[in-house]
Amino acid sequence: MPVSSSVSDDGKVVTIQVRGRFDFATHQEFLRAYKQHPRGERSFVVDLKNAEYMDSSAMGMLLQLREYGSKERVTELVNSNEGVREILRIANFDKIFRVA
């Protein structure tokens, strides 16, 4: 599966791992990864370590995730490769997400 998730020991943070192409083909799996948790109660980290590529539909999915998550903590996008990080920067996602 290109998308998997895990919950922190304290139950407050959900980490979603994306592998391969992050595009519309992963939409349903990505939705399932976060919608199984109550809306607004958890914060999310998207681990892009193994994501080779992302397109505009992936950016839309990230925006939906941001709206779904905790309002107290910024959604984090971590471990992206240089190409994905450049896409995020060009789209100004570094202004609305914590990109590490």
Give pLDDT, residue 70: 82
Range of the domain at 72: 3-99
Structural domain count, the chain: 1
The mean pLDDT value of the chain amounts to 94
The answer to whether residues 54 and 87 touch, using CB atoms and an 8 Å cutoff, is yes
Please state, as a whole number, how many other Cβ atoms lie within 10 Å of the Cβ of residue 53.
13
Q: What is the pLDDT of residues 73-83, one digit of tens each?
A: 889 999 999 99
Q: What is the mean pLDDT of residues 27-48?
A: 95
Task: Note the pTM of the prediction, 2 decimals.
Answer: 0.93
Instruction: Kindly indicate the confidence band of residue 48, based on its pLDDT and cuts at 50, 70 and 90.
Output: very high
Q: Could you tell me the CATH number of the domain that includes residue 67?
A: 3.30.750.24
